[in-house]
Amino acid sequence: MQSLSLNRSLREYRRLASDWTLLVGLVVVVVFLAVAIVWPLLKILGVGFSADALALYRKYFSSPVYLRIMWNTVELGLVVGAVGTLLGFLFAYVQVRLDVPLKKFMNLMALLPIISPPFAVATAAIVLFGRGGLITYQLFGIRNNLYGFRGLVLVLSLSLFTVAYLNLKGMMEALDPALDEAATNLGANRWAVFRTVTLPMLIPGIAGSFLLLFVEAIADLANPLVLGGDFTVLASRVYIAISGEYDTLAGAVLSLILLVPSLTVYLVQRYWVSRKSFISVTGKPSGRYQSIRNPLVRWGLFAVVMLISLLILMLYGTVVVGAFTKLFGINFEFTLANFEFVIMGLGSQAMGDTSAMSAISTPIAGLLGMVIAWLVVRKSFAGRAVLDFVAMLGIAVPGTVLGIGYLLAFNAPLKIGNNVLLPALAGGTALAGGWIAIILAYVVRSVPAGLRAGVASLQQIDPAIEEASVSLGADSSVTFRKITLPLIRPAFFTGLVYSFARAMTSLSAVIFLATPEAKIMTAQILNEVDAGRFGNAFAYCVILIGLVLAVIGLLYVVVGTSNGVERDLGRAR
Amino acid sequence: MSEQTETGALRLENVTKIFGQGSNQVRAVDDVSLTIQSGEFVTLLGPSGCGKTTTLRLIAGFEFPTSGRLLLDEKDIANVPPNLRPMAMVFQSYALFPHLNVFENVAYGLRLRKMSEAEIKEAVNIVLHMMNLVGLERRNPNQLSGGQQQRVALARAMVMKPKLLLFDEPLSNLDAKLRTQMRIEIRRLQQRMGITSVYVTHDQMEAMSLSDRVVVMNHGKIEQVGTPEEIYQRPATMFVADFIGRANFVETDVLALDGRLAIVDVYGQKVELACSPEIRVGQKAYAMIRPEAINLSSRTSDYMADVKTAVYLGNSVEYEVEIEQNLLKVVDYDPTPGVMFREGSFVSMTFDPERSYLLPK
C-alpha cells in the first residue's frame, strides 16, 4: 500500500514536470521558501538547541526577571486580544446592525491602522496622554504615566483591532437574517436572539480574532520599545540582546521562547478554530436585518464607537499636526523643518532606500502569493499542504524571530569547503549593501496576505473555466496568465497593496538587517522617538502614510479595481 | 464526407481510476473497455456517481487512469497532457471566460494556435453564424441568456475542429423547452461535421435522442453498450431495464428454450419471450414488462387485477394494479376519452410478449 501511494505521488510529480512552465513555477516557489523561510528558521533552531543554549534556558526559566518578562508577554497578548476583539466586535456590530449616522467615518477610522507606520499611534499617545501630555497634563493637570502595561494595551488595541473588525464584520454580513427571524418567530426577544443565535454563530470568529490579535500583540516590537518603560516583553528583550548586548545566542534562545506561544496559537487559530465556522461565506443571505430600534442600545453603542473613532482621529490628527509644529504640546509654531529633515536632510536616504526596496518586493510578493495560491488550490501533488503552511509561516513567525534567523543565516557567506555557495546577503559586507536580505524579508512577510486572498478568490471560481482553457490547447502558464490572473485580479490587487503597505511599515523583521547602504525608515523613526525629536518622527510618519496612499492610488490605476480589497484583507490575515 | 470521419476513433482498454488512498479508496471507473468508431455519437449514461464524468475526464486528460490504456486512432494518449489532445470539451457550467467577450471566447483556442488575425476572424464568424450568434460578438458572457451561453460554449469547442468532442452534461442547466431545442441542434451539428462525440448525461431522454450508441454505467462499470433500441428493448441487466424507462419485473420459471426465445410461466400462463443469452432452462428468471406493454380492459380473462391507483395525466393515464400480491405499473398512452378505470375496480390484464424481455435472476 505504502509503495503504491508513493508510486502515485511520483507519478503526480512526473505529470507536473511534463508541464515545464508549471515545474519552473513550482521550483521557484520551493527554492524561495527554502532560502527565505526554512533555512533561517533552521539556523535559529540550530543555535537555539546548541549546548550553550541549553544552559541559557536553565538560567532564564529559573530567573524571576526572565519569568516576569515571559509572563508580561503572555499577559499583554491576552489583554490586547480581549480588548481588541471587543473593539472589533463593537465596530462591526454598529456597522452591520445599527442604523446610525457617520458609519462611513467609523469604518474609515477602523481601517486606518492598516497603512499606519509603527510608532505613529504610540508617539501621538505620548504627547497627548503622557506625563506632560496635552490632554492629561495641560488640560487636566494629571501627571499620567503612560509608559508600561496600560499604555501598551491602549496603543496596541487601537492599532491591531482592524483584523478583528474585518473578520467579524464579514461574518456578521454573511449571517442569514432568516435565522434571527426564525428565533423571533419562536418567541425570542431581541436580547434572547442575540444571546442564543447571533453570538453563538459568531463564536468562531470571535475566538479566531482573539487568537490572531494575541499572536500580533506578543510579536509587536515597535510599541514595547517606545512605550514599554520598565515593562519588558520578549520581543523587546530580544531586541536589546541583539542591538545592545550583541549577544546573538541569547537573542536566538529568547526568540525560540517567543516562537512557541506564537506558533502554537497561530496553528490553533488556523487549523482548528477556523474550521469550526458555521457560516458559509458563499451563500448570499436572503432578506435584510431589521436594525435595532431600542434607543438605549442604539445610541449607547453609537456613542461608544463614535468616541473611540474620535480618539483614533485625534491620534492621527496629532501625527499630522505634530509634523508641522516645532514642539507639539509646547510650541505650536508652524514649521517645515521636520519635513526638510526627512526629505532633504538626514532622512532622505532612508526614505529612498525603504521606498525602493518596498517597490521591488511588492510585485515579487504579489506574484508569488498568486502562484502559490494557484498551486495550492488547483494542482494536486503531495506536499501541497506543506507548501501552504510554510508560506504562511512568514506571518505566523514573529518578525523579531525571523530577523534573527536572517542574521544567523545570511550575515556570513554560505560555504561548502572553500567554495562560496551563497555570498553574505545581510550586514555591512553583504552583496548589494544588504538590500537582498531586506527585500527577501519584505517578501516573506507579505506573501501570506496575497496567498490567503488568492486562495479565497480561486475557491470562488469554477475550475471548469481553467479546464476549458486547457482543453482549447493552452498549457498551465498560458492559462494562468490569460485566464486565472485576470479573474483573480482583485485578490492580486489586494496582495500588492498589502505587500507595499506592509513593507513600508515593517520594523521587527528588518531592524537587525539595516546597513549604512540600506536604511530603513521605521528604524529611523525609532531613533527620532528615542531622542525625543517627535516632530521628525511625525514627519516621517506623514510621509510614509502619504507614500503608501500614493502607491495604492497608482496600483489602482495600473492594476485596476479595488473590489473587495477590504474583504480580502480581512481574510488575508 | 470530411477528413474527420476517418479519424477520431477512440479505444479504452481496461481503464481503471481509483481516487483516494488506503481505506478511503473509491473505484470511480472500474475496468472499463470501450471502442468508439470515428464519427460516432456515444453517450455515457448513468446515475450520479456511476463514473461517467470521470470516464469523460480521463478521455479529456483532466484525470489520469490508475491503470489501463487510452488509444486515439490507435495511438496511446495516456501520457499526453490535456492541452495537447485534439479534443474540445463543452462543460456543464459552460465555463465561458467571464473577462472575454463572445468573439474572444470563441477565438481563444485559435489564438493559441498562432493563426493570423484574418483566419481567426473568418473561422470565428463561420461558427458564430452556424450557432446563430451573429450580433452578439461584443457581449460579455454575463449579458447572455443561458441558451446563448450554451451556444457560445459549443461554438468555442466546434471552432477548434477537434477530432473528439466531449460533452459534460451540457444541457442540465437549461429549462426543459430549451433543452429539447438544443438537443436537436447538437445532433444536427454533430451529423453535419461528423466529429466523434462522447456525451455524458444522467437524462435518458437526452441519451436516447442523441446517440448512435448508449453506454449505461453503474458503480464505475459498464452495464451495457448498445443502440437506444437495444438498451430499451433488450436490456442486459435489471439495472439497465429499470434505469432506461420504467419496468415491471415478474419472477418466473424458464420452462423451455428455443434459441433466443424462452417459454416461461407468467401468472400461470405460458408465454414465449425474447430472452437474454444467459438464460438457462430450469432457472428462475425475471420477465421484464414495460408499463406501456400492458393493456387493461373491463372484459374477464385469465389475468385479473385490482386497480390500486389511477392518475390522469392528460395524454396518458398511469395505473398501479395488483395481481398475485405484485404491484405492476401500467401506462395507457392512448386513453379513450371518458374511459378510465377507477381505483378499486377489478380489471382484466393482457401484456404484449413482443415488447417484453426475459432477464436472468
A361/A291 same-domain check? no
**Domains in chain B, number:** 2
Q: How far is A21 from chain B (nearest CA, A)?
A: 13
Residue A160 pLDDT > 70, yes or no? yes
In a domain, A9, yes or no: no
Scanning B148-187 for CB atoms below 8 A from A yields: 153, 156-157, 160, 166
Q: Look at residue A398 in the predicted model and tell me its pLDDT.
A: 93
Q: Which one of A2, A472, A478 makes the best mutation probe of the B interface by having the most chain B beta carbons within 10 Å?
A: A472
A342 and A240 in a single domain? The answer is no
Q: Which of B18, B64, B112, B169 to mutate to test the interface with A (most CBs of A within 10 A)?
A: B112
A561 touching B, CB under 8 A?
A: no
Could you please report the per-residue DSSP string of A323-358? Answer: HTEEETTTEEEE-SHHHHHHHTSTTHHHHHHHHHHH
Pair (A129, A196) in one structural domain: yes
Higher pLDDT, A439 or A515: A439
Contact A450, A373 (CB under 8 A): yes
What pLDDT was estimated at residue A1?
44
Is the CB of A5 inside 8 Å of chain B's CB atoms?
yes
Closest Cβ–Cβ partner in B99, B160, B166 for A487? B99
Hey, how many other C-beta atoms are within 10 angstroms of the C-beta on B177?
9
Domain boundary residue among A311, A330, A349? Answer: A330
The last residue of a domain, from among B238, B267, B292: B238
B167 with B262, same domain: the answer is no
pLDDT-wise least confident of A170-184, B35-49, B178-192: A170-184
Domain of B255 in residue numbering reads as: 246-360
Tell me, yes or no, whether A62 lies in a domain. Answer: yes
Q: What is the pLDDT of residue B267?
A: 83
Q: What are phi and psi of B276, to 5 degrees?
A: -65, 145
Q: Cβ contact (<8 Å) for A464 and B92?
A: yes
**Distances A90 to A98, A106, A217, A359, A547 between C-alpha atoms, Å:** 11, 11, 20, 36, 31
User: Cβ contact (<8 Å) for B91 and A467?
Assistant: yes
Inter-chain CB proximity B82 and A471 less than 8 Å: yes
Residue type, B142: N
- Shared domain for A178 and A288, answered yes or no, is yes
Statement to judge: residues B47 and B156 lie in one domain: yes
B59 contact residues in A (CB cutoff 8 A): none
Q: Taking 70 as the threshold, does the pLDDT of residue B230 lie above it? A: yes
Which domain, by its residues, includes A549? 18-49+336-573
Q: What value does the mean pLDDT take over residues A237-252?
A: 90
Per the CB < 8 A criterion, the answer to whether A181 and A238 are in contact is: no
Average pLDDT in the A341-346 region? Answer: 82
**Which residues 341-400 of chain A have a CB within 8 Å of chain B?**
none
Q: Which residues of A touch B113 (CB under 8 A)?
A: 473
Residues B272 and B219 in one domain: no
Shared domain for A377 and A259, answered yes or no, is no
CA distance B87 to chain A (A): 7
Q: Quick check: A486 contacting B, CB < 8 Å? A: yes
Instruction: Tell me the ipTM for this assembly.
Output: 0.82
Cβ pair B205, B50 in contact under 8 A: no
Answer yes or no: do A316 and A465 share one domain: no
Q: Output the CA–CA distances (angstroms, integers) from residue A85 to A173, A218, A426, A505, in the order listed.
A: 17, 15, 37, 23
> Which residue in chain A is spatially nearest to B96 when comparing CA positions?
A465
B96 interfaces chain A, CB cutoff of 8 Å: yes
| Whether B198 and B260 share a structural domain | no
Mean per-residue pLDDT for B203-223? 94
Of A86, A233, A229, the closest CA to residue A157 belongs to A86
* CATH number for the domain that contains residue B89: 3.40.50.300
The total of other beta-carbon atoms located within 10 Å of residue B104's CB is 15
Over residues A425-440, the mean pLDDT reads 82
What gap in Å lies between CA B275 and CA A310, rounded to an integer?
A: 87
B197, B254: one domain:
no
What is the average pLDDT score of chain A? 86
Give pLDDT tens digits for B284-319: 899 999 999 998 888 887 778 999 999 988 888 999
Supply the pLDDT for residue A567. 42
Show Cβ contacts of residue B177 under 8 Å, excluding neighbours closer than 6 positions. Answer: none
Q: Which one of A310, A330, A350 terminates a domain?
A: A330
pLDDT for residue A399 is more than 60: yes
- pLDDT, tens only, B102-141: 999 999 999 999 899 999 999 999 999 999 899 999 999 9
Last residue of a domain, one of A330, A358, A386: A330
Any domain includes A63 = yes
* Residue of A130 and A509 predicted with greater confidence: A509
- Asked whether residue A347 falls in the same domain as residue A199, the answer is no
Q: Which amino acid is located at A60 in the chain?
A: Y
Same domain, B159 and B298: no
Size of chain A in residues: 573
Nearest to A462 among B95, B109, B153 (CB): B95
pLDDT over 90 (residue B329): yes
Query: Chain A contacts of B80, Cβ < 8 Å?
Result: none
Same domain, B7 and B112: yes
Q: Which residue from A5, A473, A487 is facing B112, i.e. has the nearest CB?
A: A473
Same domain, A131 and A186: yes
The torsion of the CA quartet A541, A542, A543, A547, rounded to 10 degrees, works out to: 100
Residues B200, B262 share a domain: no
One-letter identity of residue A483: I
pLDDT at B6: 65
- Residue A559 binned pLDDT confidence (cut-offs 50, 70, 90): confident
The DSSP line for B115-179 is --HHHHHHHHHHHHHHTT-TT-TT--GGGS-HHHHHHHHHHHHHTT--SEEEEESTTTTS-HHHH
User: What are the grid coordinates assigned to A158, written together?
Assistant: 487601537
Q: Yes or no: say if A129 and A135 are a contact pair by the CB < 8 Å rule.
A: yes
Domain assignment of residue A274, yes or no = yes
Most confident of A302-306, A384-388, B83-87, B261-265: A302-306
Half-sphere exposure in the Cβ direction for A70 (13 Å, CA): 18
What span, in angstroms and rounded, lies between the C-alpha atoms of A163 and A210?
10
* φ and ψ of B15, to 5 deg: -80, 130
Are residue B106 and residue B149 in the same domain, yes or no? yes
Return the pLDDT at A414. 77
For position A197, what pLDDT does the model report?
83
How far apart, in whole angstroms, are the C-alpha atoms of residue A135 and residue A393?
Answer: 41
8-state DSSP, A50? S
Residue A12 belongs to a domain: no
Q: Tell me if chain B has a CB within 8 Å of the CB of A18.
A: yes
| Closest partner CB to A475 (pick from B66, B83, B156) | B83
Q: Are residues A262 and A346 in the same domain?
A: no
Residue B115 touches partner A, C-beta closer than 8 Å: no
B81 and A18 in contact by Cβ < 8 A?
Answer: yes
In chain A, what percentage of residues exceed pLDDT 70? 91
* One domain for residues A35 and A72: no
Query: Quick one: angle between helices A565-572 and A489-505, nearest 10?
Result: 60
Instruction: DSSP letter for A243, please.
Output: I
- Lowest mean per-residue pLDDT among A70-74, B77-81, B140-144, B162-166: B77-81
Probe site for chain B from A10, A466, A471, A563 (most B CB atoms < 10 A): A471
Per-residue confidence (pLDDT) for residue B300, from 0 to 100: 80
Same domain assignment for residues A445 and A562: yes
B96 to chain A nearest CA, in Å?
6
> How many domains does the structure of chain A reveal?
2
Across the interface, whether the CB atoms of A464 and B91 are under 8 A apart is answered yes
pLDDT at A560: 63
pLDDT of residue B1 exceeding 50, the answer is no
B45 and B154 within one domain: yes
Average pLDDT for residues A75-92, to the nearest whole number? Answer: 96
> Would the CB atoms of B79 and A18 count as touching at under 8 Å?
yes
Decide if pLDDT at A566 tops 50: no
CA distances from A454 to A60, A381, A571, B329 (A): 42, 19, 10, 55
User: A523-537 pLDDT, tens per residue?
Assistant: 999 999 988 888 999
Residue A393 lies in a domain: yes
The lowest-confidence range among A15-29, A217-231, A352-366 is A15-29
Distance from CA of B54 to the nearest CA of A (A): 14
Q: Give the pLDDT confidence of A173-227 residue by residue, as tens digits.
A: 888 777 777 887 887 888 888 888 888 888 888 998 999 899 999 999 999 999 9
Residue B94: pLDDT over 60: yes
A394 and A447 Cβ atoms separated by less than 8 Å: yes
Distances (CA, A) of A458 to A205, A276, A371, A454, A461: 22, 21, 11, 6, 5
pLDDT in tens, A42-68: 999 999 888 889 999 999 999 999 999
**Number of Cβ within a 10 Å radius of residue A560:** 12
B145 and B269 share one domain: no
pLDDT at B16 over 60: yes
Residues B171 and B312 in one domain: no
A86 close contact with B: CB closer than 8 A: no
CA distance A559 to chain B (A): 14
Whether chain A has a CB inside 8 Å of the CB on B92: the answer is yes
pLDDT > 70? residue A571 = no
Contact list, B157 vs chain A (CB under 8 Å): 471-472
- Establish if A10 belongs to a structural domain: no
In angstroms, the separation between the Cα of residue A370 and the nearest Cα of chain B is 18
Q: Does B142 touch chain A (CB under 8 A)?
A: no
> How much is the mean pLDDT over chain B?
90
Q: How much is the pLDDT for A260?
A: 92
CATH of the domain at A467: 1.10.3720.10
pLDDT, mean of residues A125-130: 88
Same domain, yes or no: A226 and A185: yes
Do residues A164 and A89 touch, judged by C-beta distance below 8 A? yes
Q: Is residue A179 part of a domain?
A: yes
C-alpha cell at A106: 467609523
Q: Does B108 touch chain A (CB under 8 A)?
A: yes
Choice between A221 and A380, residue whose per-residue pLDDT is larger: A221
Contact B355, B290 (CB under 8 A): yes
Residue A283 has pLDDT above 60, yes or no: no
d(CA B116, CA B102): 19
Closest-CA residue of A relative to B87 is A471
Long-range contacts of A142-148 (CB under 8 A, 24+ apart): A145/A229, A146/A227, A147/A227, A147/A228, A147/A229, A147/A230, A147/A231, A148/A227, A148/A228, A148/A229, A148/A230, A148/A231
Quick one: pLDDT at residue A282? 43
B83 to A5: CB separation less than 8 angstroms, yes or no:
no
Return d(Cα B100, Cα A483) in angstroms, integer. Answer: 9
If you average pLDDT over residues A278-307, what whole number do you get? 73
